[in-house]
Structure 1
Amino acid sequence: MTEGSTTSGMLDDQCALEIPVPAWFNEYKETYIAGATHGFILTGDIYGFVVSGVSQRGYLENALAEKREIVLRYDRAGGFRFTMESMRAKAVKLVNSQGIGATAPLSKDSTAMLDELNSCLNSPGQDANLGSDGPFGGSPGPVEALRLLETLLRAPKARGKVAVILDFSELICPNVQEKATMSPTDRDILGLLLRWGQDTTLGKSNNPIFLLVAKIPELHADLRASGSGYKVIDVPLPTREDRLMYLRRYLAKREERNKPISLLDVNTEEMANLTAGLNLRHLEEILLLAYRLGGVSRQLVKSRKDAIITSEFSEVAEMIEPLEQGFAALGGMDHLTSWARSELIEPLTRGLDDVPKGVLLVGPPGTGKTYFVRALAKEVGFNAVMLRTENILSKYVGESENKLKRFFEFARALTPVLVFFDELDQSDMSSRGSESNPVARNLFNQMLQFMSDETLRGKMVAFFASNRPDLIDQALLRFGRMDAVIPVLLPNEEARARIVRAQAKGQTIGITNEAVTIIATRSNDYSAADIAAVVAKAKKLARRAQQTQIVGADAEQALNYIRPATPSIARYYTLLAIEACNDTELLPPQCALELADRQMLRAKIRAEKNEPAQYPDREDREDRSW
């Protein structure tokens, strides 16, 4: 038998026949067989299911047991557990055969364990498989447990027979930055694990070691480092196809057992889409809850999914709620919605391969960039998720990079998905950093790698928003990563009138034509957010006057009260947006003319910023002196 095969003796018969070999296990096998390393860190969905009732961790144990005589798991709270109880006696005998002269010196407590073991083995009527009475019984502390495991791994007769799994390894060796603050026991644990990973003689024993951790930033950084000797293997969340196969199999088994689960207003294909970002254990939880509630509904799936994602990914991700009205909720974005229909929605519907992968929305603050993404999520029918940039940065080495990596993995699991990065220019992902800021360089490189992944085209569309595109590195802006840079500019009078009506409708207040005209004509250089604030103020004034709609007097007074800052900065941010645009078809005609002379455009930008070298002279001017 080979590692990776499964038998009905280890798993449920039906599952054993159907269970696929996970890609992460194949990655382990290839690396191990090549002799590259003997230590592995498994992270990600390790406690999710491969199939119903069989976790990724359980698959690992069972697959290893097909080839190894002893597969044991240790965690700090539960102590030692063997995949099969018969393995305990074999482990006891191997440890006893190693004796006190082991390569790794045993502590006083470990020696006492072996003395106790000898007395057990030599006493009539005693069985080596004694549970808490033997060295692998009870719940020893991590240092003693690791030393005992090392004795087992190094036993000459154990070569090629043993596999060790450290469960919840972040609790055994947590991520503590300053070694000086670590207790002597914690330093001993770190030293032992580092020795395991780097010791070539231990590698030659042909006994693999696995550290399991769901969130890798929680494991000590030295173990995650490239020189630790451990290879990090990600266990990804299930794909749509994985979820669909699981749902069909699970529901069929429920039918066979005369405990069917009804699908009320959703089918299996739709449910596979709705549960993007969840693992198979989460799916089972939803199905079991649905059985008690009378069936699976969209609302049940959505509410449970929101709760799960909030619980597990809220640190790095926020699900974007689509606008129920879609593009109908927008006002003054005709060029943007027209582009989305022709360049995004239609190609996706037809399955074409020229869908943009990255889109940068640029323009003054408050022009509705985020609002547009919410409307697009409704129109295209994709999941939509936003990176919580403020939570990415960490003072701990490597943790910022791991958080961003976790977000990217989550986004991949959500496909098809819209991914939104707000205020890109304000993050460390927008430029390549410097020698003094290696974190920014690492985050930027991760972003480049993510945006260069062609396998995501048609499955993921990344939207970025920025008021300062001039601060974004050109390597990120090139075609193939950022396929469209679209200015979202301040609305003209006609567009402002539509925004006023859309805002009044959204804020559930009537408005007269006179009030619409007053606001639209007197709000030049106002953003959509500014207009929303004016309508909100007018609504309050109307309510105070006990009116059911906004009238002209309310609009006049609201405009006198609301004085936004946008008009004073509008020209500067508009010119920056025009300069960043890489396709003049995406600009209004009068703005497209600005791009015809970039030198003049940049001079205008400097002038708006009150920098020297303002508008260059185009003709000789008369000297005004006498």
Structure 2
Amino acid sequence: MKALQIPSWLSAGVLERYHAGASHLFLLHGNVRDLHVFGGDWVPLREGLERLTRRRAVVATYDVSSGLAFPDADREKALRKALGLKGLLPADPARALVVLDAVLTTERCPAGSVAVVIDYAHSLAPAGASGAAERQNVTTLARWASDPRIAARRPLVILIAPSAQDVSDEVYAGASGAEVVAIPRPDLSARAEFARHLRAQAPELAWELTPDELASETGGLSLVQMEDIVQRARGAGTALGREAIVQRKVDLLREEYGDVLEILQPKHDLSAVGGLEHATRELKEVAEIMRRGQYAAAPMGIILMGPPGTGKSYLAECFARECGMLCVRFRPLRQMYVGQSERNQEKAFAAIRALAPVVVLVDESDQAEGGSRDQGSGDSGVTERMRGSAFNFWGDSSLRGRVLRIDITNRVDLIDAAMRRSGRTDIKIPILMPDEQARRQIFEVTVRKHRLPSAIQDYTPFARRTAGYTGSDIELAVTTAWRFALQGGAPAMTEAHLSAAIDDLIPTARDQRTIDRMTLIALDECRNKRLLPRNADAIRKEIEERA
């Protein structure tokens, strides 16, 4: 009989382990509600598992809503015969697990002839289970994983949950616990194959993209979500274009991950950045590496460091747009309920893996990491556990070229040294207060970025007048000048308008000693000469003279 075509994660994560005798109980989590290839068809996971186990005499599925179910009457008949059951089968968890326990241990079923699939396992044995019924369910599943008598019967038991963190860890903890298998989102080749299938199914739809282009634009989505995009266009009778796809993709990702990640849509690339030549030159090279898929040369992480208001966050978003990659930012993960903070963090990390390739922005990273590990947290170890989990995640070399973390900080010295080391952060770029030449470039880029009509030919005089201004101060001056021009009915911004705007603006008050300290810390942390601003020595000298 011809072997059934199955997903690679199932072959490597489940069947190889099962046939090696390493485990007989598996917890599948992650992309469990998607379509998967079984026998050349795209089918839901539960249906695919029924196809996988079609040669077994007894195949039973269970969830707390539907109760016990079977692929066909023969499988139900085999279970009833083995256990001598008549009448209605129980639906409540306690009695249903008794039936499944009996079929897993009875010698009336030949070894290797039983398969059990429990869907929504997190509702049966949830993390933090406290009630007597839930505790009994947890104990039963944990015993199935470790009982040598059950292992000797060679059943295949599969639990399904959206996240392993939602299931009691007693079920999968330790060497004798269930084997945890993460189901990934479809990669580019899988999405391309499915896109060709969708096109064949909807020939009447106006396709403005090829299947390969559709696959490229839908990175991070499941196949079900890809199908949703096509079906919406089909139902509305509109063309399937790039703009509609991107917007729907963002909407879908916000619906699915919006509680732990903010999905960003940067409007500008690095051409809209002025006055940071040392940074944009390096970031353009990294962006090109990412676009070409040369992952071995890609950095694991980047730190943009320096005083506030110098454009670090804006630069990071422009870089993400330059790469053509999805850009996300963490939402607050801390919650008051026991274990919820860690589960939120785990969900965010799982989402980042699923969305790859992705740029992850971490604003105020010195605070996001919980500061120095020497600082007491007073939170019963939550901070330490989350910090340890973060170190493990960001140190995973398999993320190189697929997930790029960008830390944005005023005080890089407050980020834990373990996060700043090579292998987690490879590029550290000082982003400092702009000098006169940089300020002139910021004026020019701001006018171009906002597409403002301007009669000004040379911004050098205005750059001289704005010593101590940040990039955000200069942008405010330019937009205010355009407002003055509109009030006067002028067709373009003139030198008089910009001069009036600068006279009107009160720059943000800053503590110069604090700015100097942040500047020196950033310069000292940089480990590559090419990443220093061209006037780094002059900046140091100026600070020393003020001191």
Give the TM-score normalised by the residue count of structure 2.
0.86
Preserved CA contact (<8 Å) 2:142 2:172: no
Preserved CA contact (<8 Å) 1:343 1:355: yes
Match in the other structure for 2:100: 149
1:94 to 77, 82, 96: 82
Preserved CA contact (<8 Å) 2:17 2:23: yes
Preserved CA contact (<8 Å) 2:359 2:404: yes
In 2 relative to 1, CA 430–358 (structure 1 residues): closer, same or farther, beyond 3 Å?
farther
Preserved CA contact (<8 Å) 1:542 1:551: no
Preserved CA contact (<8 Å) 1:357 1:483: yes
Q: Does 1:470 align with 2:418?
A: no
Secondary structure of the corresponding residue to residue 53 of structure 2: helix
2:89 to 135, 139, 146: 135
- Deviation string, structure 1 residues 539-594 (Cα, Å, up to 9, x no partner): 55665666664764675466555341345432222112111111122112442578
Secondary structure of the corresponding residue to residue 270 of structure 1: helix
Match in the other structure for 1:317: 261
- Deviation string, structure 1 residues 528-547 (Cα, Å, up to 9, x no partner): 22333444455556656666
In 2 relative to 1, CA 564–228 (structure 1 residues): closer, same or farther, beyond 3 Å?
farther
Q: Does 1:200 align with 2:148?
A: yes
Higher relative contact order, structure no. (Cα contacts within 8 Å, ≥ 6 residues apart): 2
Which residue identity does 1:278 align to in structure 2?
A: L
Preserved CA contact (<8 Å) 1:526 1:566: no
Match in the other structure for 1:385: 327
Q: Does 1:301 align with 2:255?
A: no
Q: Does 1:40 align with 2:26?
A: yes
Preserved CA contact (<8 Å) 1:518 1:555: no
- Deviation string, structure 1 residues 422-456 (Cα, Å, up to 9, x no partner): 22211237766789764444444444444444444
Q: Offset of 1:359 from its aligned partner?
A: 1.4
Match in the other structure for 1:367: 310
Identity among equivalent pairs (%) = 27
Q: Offset of 1:70 from its aligned partner?
A: 1.3
Match in the other structure for 1:162: 114
Q: Does 1:420 align with 2:340?
A: no
Structure 1 CA distance, aligned partners of 2:212 and 2:158?
36
Q: Unaligned stretches of 5+ in structure 2? A: none
Aligned length, in residue pairs? 538
In 2 relative to 1, CA 45–347 (structure 1 residues): closer, same or farther, beyond 3 Å?
closer
- Deviation string, structure 1 residues 55-107 (Cα, Å, up to 9, x no partner): 233222221233x21111111111121122211111112222xxxxxxxxxxx
Match in the other structure for 1:503: 446
- Deviation string, structure 1 residues 100-138 (Cα, Å, up to 9, x no partner): xxxxxxxxxxxxxx5xx2xxxxxxxxxxxxxxx4225xx
Which residue identity does 2:88 align to in structure 1?
A: G
Match in the other structure for 2:54: 65
Which residue identity does 1:26 align to in structure 2?
A: A
Q: Offset of 1:462 from its aligned partner?
A: 2.8
Bigger Cα Rg = 1
Q: Offset of 1:53 from its aligned partner?
A: 3.8
Cα root mean square deviation, aligned: 3.5
Which residue identity does 2:260 align to in structure 1?
A: V
Structure 1 CA distance, aligned partners of 2:371 and 2:46?
37
Q: Offset of 1:408 from its aligned partner?
A: 3.7
Match in the other structure for 2:524: 579
More displaced, 566-575 or 399-408?
Answer: 399-408
Secondary structure of the corresponding residue to residue 26 of structure 2: strand
Preserved CA contact (<8 Å) 1:248 1:268: yes
Q: Offset of 1:497 from its aligned partner?
A: 3.1
Q: Does 1:240 align with 2:192?
A: no
Match in the other structure for 1:106: none
Q: Offset of 1:513 from its aligned partner?
A: 4.0
Secondary structure of the corresponding residue to residue 171 of structure 2: helix
| Structure 1 residues 315-354: aligned runs within 5 Å | 315-324=259-268, 326-345=269-288, 348-349=291-292, 351=294, 353-354=296-297
Preserved CA contact (<8 Å) 1:265 1:296: yes
- Deviation string, structure 1 residues 463-507 (Cα, Å, up to 9, x no partner): 221111101222332333322100111111232233234434555
| Structure 1 residues 449-488: aligned runs within 5 Å | 449-488=392-431
Structure 2 CA distance, aligned partners of 1:542 and 1:165?
69
Structure 1 CA distance, aligned partners of 2:437 and 2:540?
25
Structure 2 CA distance, aligned partners of 1:346 and 1:45?
29
Structure 2 CA distance, aligned partners of 1:219 and 1:352?
34
Secondary structure of the corresponding residue to residue 322 of structure 1: coil
Give the TM-score normalised by the residue count of structure 1.
0.76
Structure 2 CA distance, aligned partners of 1:584 and 1:494?
20
Match in the other structure for 2:164: 216
Which residue identity does 2:232 align to in structure 1?
A: L
In 2 relative to 1, CA 557–298 (structure 1 residues): closer, same or farther, beyond 3 Å?
closer
Match in the other structure for 2:470: 527
In 2 relative to 1, CA 378–386 (structure 1 residues): closer, same or farther, beyond 3 Å?
closer
| Structure 1 residues 511-550: aligned runs within 5 Å | 513=456, 520-538=463-481, 549=493
Preserved CA contact (<8 Å) 1:348 1:355: no
Secondary structure of the corresponding residue to residue 65 of structure 1: coil
Structure 1 CA distance, aligned partners of 2:53 and 2:540?
63
Structure 2 CA distance, aligned partners of 1:211 and 1:75?
10
In 2 relative to 1, CA 303–560 (structure 1 residues): closer, same or farther, beyond 3 Å?
closer
